[in-house]
Chains A and B, each alone.
Chain A
Amino acid sequence: QVQLVQSGAEVRKPGASVKVSCKTSGYTFTGYFIHWVRQAPGQGLEWMGWISPSGGATKYAQKFQGRVTMTSDTSINTAYMELSRLTSDDTAVYYCAKYSGSLYFDYWGQGTLVTVSS
C-alpha cells in the first residue's frame, strides 16, 4: 500500500533552516510529483510547491521563492523540503502529498510540526 512517512518534529531558532523528509513506498516514486503544503496554527492549508522526482524539476509558490528548496533522492524514494531564514510565522505542520496526476492529491504524509522559537 502507498505510504508517505515524514520525519519527526523539529524546533528551530529564528533565522535557522529546517529540512523535512518524506519517505515514500508502495508506488513508483519517480512517476508522480510530490507536493508540500503547510498549516499554521489556527489557519488553513497553504500550498508551497512541488518537485518531480524524475529529474528534479520544481515549482515553488511565489511566497516561498528564495527560501524553499525541494529535493529528492530516488535511491531511497524520499523527498525533502528545506526552508531557510525561519521566522515565527513559519511555525506550522508541514505535509507532503503525492500528486495523483489528475489535479488532486491521493496520499498524504502524517505531517511534521516545525516550531520556530527563540
Chain B
Amino acid sequence: QSALTQPASVSGSPGQSITISCTGASSDVGGYNYVSWYQHHPGKAPKLMIYDVSRRPSGVSDRFSGSKSGNTASLTISGLQAEDEADYFCSSYTSNGLDWVFGGGTKLTVL
C-alpha cells in the first residue's frame, strides 16, 4: 500500500484533457509545496514532469500542469497525444520519519 493514493488507471482520447490525483496527508502533500510528478515508460528511466507542485522543468511540454488543494495534488495533461501513454507517479517530501513518499502510479491510456 502506497503512502500517496493515485487512481490505478485513467484514459482519454487524443486531444482531450485528463487529470490524475495524488492524495496524501498533512505531513506530506498538504504540508509542503514539494510535490513532483514523473512520467515512466516501463523499462526506461522515469522522467521529471512537474516539481514544486506546479513548476515545469525546461523541455517539458506546457500541456503538462500541476496543482494542489489541501492534501491532494493533481497532474493535468491537456491535448492528449499518443506519446503521453505511460505510467505517472507522484512524490512528496514528508515529515513522518521518511524523507520522501510516493504514489502507487497511474497508468494513462490514450484511446
Contact = CB atoms under 8 A, between A and B. Distances in A.
A45 B46 CA distance: 12
Contacts, number: 71
Interface in B67-86: none
Contact of B102 (A44, A103, A111): A44
A25 to B, nearest CB: 13
A115 to B, nearest CB: 16
A102 B51 contact: yes
Nearest to B57: A106
A34 to B, nearest CB: 13
A104 B99 contact: no
Contacts of B103: 44-45
A35 B102 CA distance: 13
Interface string B21-37: 00000000000101010
Interface residues of B, number: 29
A100 B43 CA distance: 23
Contacts of B34: 103-104
Contacts of A73: none
B111 interface: no
- Give the interface SS of chain B, mostly helix, strand, loop or mixed: loop
B100 A47 contact: yes
Contacts of A106: 48, 51, 57
Given A103-B93, A105-B36, A108-B45, A47 B51 contact: no
A118 interface: no
A10 interface: no
Contacts of B46: 95, 97, 108
B89 A45 contact: yes
Given A104-B91, A105-B36, A47 B102 contact: yes
Interface string A45-73: 11100100000000101100000000000
Interface of A: 4, 35, 37, 43-47, 50, 59, 61-62, 95, 97, 100, 102-111
6 contacts: A45-B2, A95-B46, A104-B91, A105-B36, A106-B57, A108-B45
